[in-house]
Amino acid sequence: VKGISRRHLLGAAGVAAASLAPNALALPRSQVRAWDVFTDVLVIGSGAAGLSASIEARASGVSVLLTEFLPVMGGASTISGGVIYAGGGTSLQRALRIEDSVEAMYNYLVAAGGHHQQLDKIQRYCEDSPAHFEWLMDQGITYRDRLSELRVLPDWRESLYYSASELDWPHRDAASPVPRGHVPAAEGSNGGRELVNALLSSAKAAGVELRSGVKASQLVTEDDGTVVGAVLDSIGQRISVRARRGVVLACGGFVQNRTMLELHAPELARCSVPFSGAGDNGDGIAMGMAVGGVGLRMQQGAIAMSLREPEEVVSGLVVNANGTRFIAEDAHQGALGHAISRQPDGKAWLITDQRSSYTVDQDERPLVAQANSVGNIAEQLGFPRGSLQNTVAYYNRNAANGIDPQFHKAVDMLRPLQGPPYSAWDLSSGNAITRVYTLGGLHTTVDGQVINGLGDNIPGLYAAGRTSAGLPVAPYVVEGLSLGDCTYFGRRAGRAAAGV
Ligand SMILES: Cc1cc2nc3c(=O)[nH]c(=O)nc-3n(C[C@H](O)[C@H](O)[C@H](O)COP(=O)(O)OP(=O)(O)OC[C@H]3O[C@@H](n4cnc5c(N)ncnc54)[C@H](O)[C@@H]3O)c2cc1C
């Protein structure tokens, strides 16, 4: 790599000043007077996707420059739990005598993936999952041979758990439940940091050139649409980078960009907590679209709302502004968060009786009504007359017989709601703590090539991680699939960009 030196940062002049329209996200090659920096592959963004892409591109023997616009590398991946959804018989599963197969994993992911358009991505991911897990360990990520009985992120002493909805209806009927959430053995739930540190060390050792504090702002294209480089901004200077083989966009999603969020995903925009690093402002997606890339599933997000702790609370009822139930209260946090966001105005409440009530003050979901009768709760919340009473009466009748014909709540959580005081806890997307990040992004092939509106690949352009529309879909019930997708398809994009 002919890297970015101090001279380039201070004196870059390769981009014609007249061409620098402030909002332009793409620049014709003809307007680049001279390139400031040359590399084979340019990777933009240093999260799990960008690091995996750069390691693999470099392993192909080509020069790689990775740029990150924040001062610190790692993005949202660093603050994550580091859980990776892997299976099909990984070495950790085998060590714990967990039986799994590629077919079982595929069947589950297809069932949980709703209407995923790209079954070839799911297929490759499952087939290569055991080998991909070995690759992660080869980068220096460590795991412990211990299985957690819990269905929430275990502490660092246990490295395998049911992170997804395998045990929930209807998925438990679609495929045999198998634990596939692989958690790095990092003290204090710092799995993401362990993951990123390992990938960073690997990238450095392999000879990837890493530059932080440098923001990519424009892709450079030839007349025929081929992406041949990018323009970077650093401390007010503009640097033109010629990428001889390809550019990989790995800039994360767009949950920090209010304008994009309100435009593409209004249901996500009203969720209270954007859950990501500060860099997820849609740059990669916007740059890709500016050269013809299409967005896929742009309205979808991972929205988390869990009622599983303490367990007793789940025997309450979740209702919308019509006073009706719409989901099993013990649903996976991704299913519950998603379902709430789709109710009228994103509003929902948890109704508890004395037994199912929280016993301590709730910061995450405010207590908004308390009364000695269900009718009085309904009145305080402004529900249509009689609706909540009907909902509770129907639910109670069935719960007394151990069934939930509408939503199949687990039998051990079913019991009639009775015994004042009754309480209502606000679960609305905008009022309760509702964590969200985006899942939509650039449409890509299985090798990360960005696809345009006509279905053709854009030469020279690749995307991975949350800049692309990968395996994760809404409702996001497969925890660990985002980082699994970032690392696996990041690697594929890096290899394809290197083109060797
Ligand atoms: C607290 C938390 C816990 C989570 N836990 C898990 C988990 O356990 N398992 C899981 O699968 N998922 C988890 N997630 C989600 C997961 O972390 C993200 O989906 C994933 O890290 C996205 O990786 P990425 O590489 O696509 O983007 P990021 O890790 O966000 O990296 C993108 C990088 O690109 C940089 N960038 C952006 N624009 C530019 C630009 N113009 N020029 C240069 N650089 C740019 C950003 O600054 C950022 O550093 C969690 C998320 C959070 C917030």
Compute the distance from residue 77 Cα to the ligand 1 centre, in Å.
4
Between the CA of residue 90 and those of 86, 96, 135, 156, what are the distances in Å? 7, 10, 11, 19
**Which alpha helices (H) appear in 171-317, and where do they start and end?**
171-174, 191-206, 258-264, 266-269, 283-290
- Residue 20: the pLDDT is 43
Rounded CA separation 475/479 (Å): 11
Rounded CA separation 320/299 (Å): 22
- Residue 2: the pLDDT is 45
Cβ atoms within 10 Å of 114's Cβ, excluding its own = 11
Compute the distance from residue 350 Cα to the ligand 1 centre, in Å.
31
| CA-atom Rg of the chain in angstroms | 24
Between the CA of residue 435 and those of 133, 222, 277, 306, what are the distances in Å? 28, 41, 13, 10
- Residue 14: the pLDDT is 52
Closest ligand 1 atom to residue 490 Cα is 25
Compute the distance from residue 237 Cα to the ligand 1 centre, in Å.
26
Rounded CA separation 162/185 (Å): 16
Phi then psi for 302, rounded to 5 degrees? -95, 115
Compute the distance from residue 302 Cα to the ligand 1 centre, in Å.
13
Closest ligand 1 atom to residue 49 Cα is 25
Compute the distance from residue 276 Cα to the ligand 1 centre, in Å.
6
Q: Mean pLDDT in each 10-residue stretch from start to end of the chain (500 residues)?
A: 46 44 76 96 98 98 97 97 98 97 94 82 97 98 91 84 89 87 90 97 98 96 97 92 98 97 96 94 97 97 89 94 96 95 97 92 91 97 97 97 95 93 97 97 98 97 98 96 98 96
Between the CA of residue 373 and those of 135, 235, 295, 417, 448, what are the distances in Å? 58, 63, 49, 11, 56
Rounded CA separation 464/44 (Å): 10
- For the chain, the distance separating the N- and C-terminal CA atoms, rounded to the nearest angstrom, is 17
Cβ of 470 less than 6 Å from ligand 1: no
Q: How buried is 361 (Cβ within 10 angstroms: 0-12 exposed, 13-18 middle, 19+ buried)? A: exposed
Compute the distance from residue 126 Cα to the ligand 1 centre, in Å.
22
Confirm if 296 and 433 have CB atoms less than 8 A apart. no
Residue of 25, 300, 482 best suited for mutating to test ligand 1, as the one with most atoms within 8 Å of CB: 482
- Strand order through the sheet with 84-85: 84-85, 181-182, 160-161
Closest ligand 1 atom to residue 75 Cα is 49
Cβ of 111 less than 6 Å from ligand 1: no
- Residue 17: the pLDDT is 40
Cβ of 68 less than 6 Å from ligand 1: yes
